[in-house]
Amino acid sequence: MIKRLILITSTLSLAACAGHSMDTERSELAEARDAIAASKAAGAERCAPKLQAEAVAAFYWAAHEYTEHDIHPDENAELTERAVAKAKAAKAAAGKNCAPPPKPKPKPVEIIKLDGINFPHDSAELTPASIAILDNAVATLKRRAKINVEVAAHTDSSGKDSYNQALSERRAASVMNYLASKGIAANRLTSKGYGETQPITSNETSDGRAQNRRVELRVMN
Amino acid sequence: MKIGLLILALFAFALPASAGLSSIEDRAEAVEAQTEGNNSYHAHLARKFAFIAVDEKGQHDLAAAKEFINMAEEHAAQAGGSK
């Protein structure tokens, strides 16, 4: 009797240790498998990570439960349905969250400095001296007819940031309009004010501030 | 003699189940700690698998519990730690 008992116990123990406790290839899991593959392809791992993880976890749990030979058929079905539902939700969320990242703005390949361009205080009007310099720029742009440029205007750090930003935008637009008025095609020109954000030297001295107050043409192609 | 061999075999197969240095619960807690604050796919999946492992152990399915906790630890490693 004792021998039989030990034999039975041993057999049961070995059976419990044997085999894999998951079967992910079962036909009952086909829908969940497909749904998870679709959500993964839609970028859900990156854009809806929690939902995708829940779908995959439910899938593997169901894959395990099915190896228990339908001991809990309701539980198996519930886990499979949960995997499908989560995967579908992950795919939908990925569709919303996975917008392609914005294209990087083109970086200038060359900067044409327009030394000597000045403006009256708090003004975007071009002085006669500045116009002479811009006429040289017009000639350059006509000679190099294939380049597109951004007119970039900068200020020093005196005054409020917001004021400097607005002023630089007006000055950049003023220069761009002048270039366009002299026959440079508008589709080759853009303007941008950078305010005081891009100093080229210290703003501690008057000389430094003068260098930082500048306009330049940024060749974008 | 036979009885002795059978008992030896029984213990030999029982050993791997208890030979783990940490319990399933301890390992699940370690996975939680390792991925705390990490919201990546692998971190979420690691925590889910750890939860399932503890649940399976509660249902006395130690083989499944070990398989799930191993998967949890693999994904926790891929998650790159806590954030």
**In angstroms, rounded to a whole number, what is the distance separating the alpha carbons of residues A127 and A120?**
7
Mean pLDDT within A8-35: 69
Report the DSSP beta bridge partners of residue A192.
Answer: A152
Closest in A16, A17, A61 to B52, CB measured: A61
Read off the pLDDT of residues A175-186 as tens digits, 9 standing for 90 and up. Answer: 999 999 999 999
Alpha carbons within 13 angstroms on the beta-carbon side of residue A129 total 7
A124 shares a domain with A207: yes
A75 shares a domain with A122: no
User: Among A84-98, A156-170, A176-190, B4-18, whose mean pLDDT is lowest?
Assistant: B4-18
Domain boundaries, chain B: 22-79
B11 close to A (CB below 8 A) = no
Do B67 and A22 make contact, defined as CB atoms within 8 angstroms?
yes
Mean pLDDT within B1-16: 56
Does residue A104 fall inside a structural domain?
Answer: no
pLDDT score at A99? 74
A178 shares a domain with A136: yes
pLDDT score at A153? 94
Residue that finishes a domain, picked among A36, A70, A97 = A97
With cut-offs at 50, 70 and 90, classify the pLDDT of residue B33.
Answer: very high
**The complex's ipTM?**
0.77
pLDDT score at A14? 39
With cut-offs at 50, 70 and 90, classify the pLDDT of residue B17.
Answer: very low
Instruction: Decide if pLDDT at B18 tops 50.
Output: no
**Residue A213, Cα to own-chain centre: how many angstroms?**
32
Do B71 and A60 make contact, defined as CB atoms within 8 angstroms?
yes
- Chain A neighbors of B40, CB-CB under 8 A: 49
B39 close to A (CB below 8 A) = yes
**Residue A98, Cα to own-chain centre: how many angstroms?**
10
The continuous run of DSSP H or E covering A199 comes out as: none
**In angstroms, rounded to a whole number, what is the distance separating the alpha carbons of residues B50 and B67?**
10
Read off the pLDDT of residues A120-131 as tens digits, 9 standing for 90 and up. Answer: 778 899 988 899
User: In terms of CA atoms, which chain A residue is nearest residue B61?
Assistant: A16
Count of other CB atoms within 10 angstroms of residue A55: 29
CB A124, CB A171: distance < 8 Å: yes
pLDDT score at A98? 81
Residue that finishes a domain, picked among A57, A73, A97 = A97
Do A21 and B71 make contact, defined as CB atoms within 8 angstroms?
no
Domain enclosing residue A213, as ranges: 110-219
Do A21 and B6 make contact, defined as CB atoms within 8 angstroms?
no
B33 close to A (CB below 8 A) = no
Domain total of chain A: 2
pTM: 0.53
- Chain A neighbors of B51, CB-CB under 8 A: 57
Mean pLDDT within B40-55: 96
A202 shares a domain with A139: yes
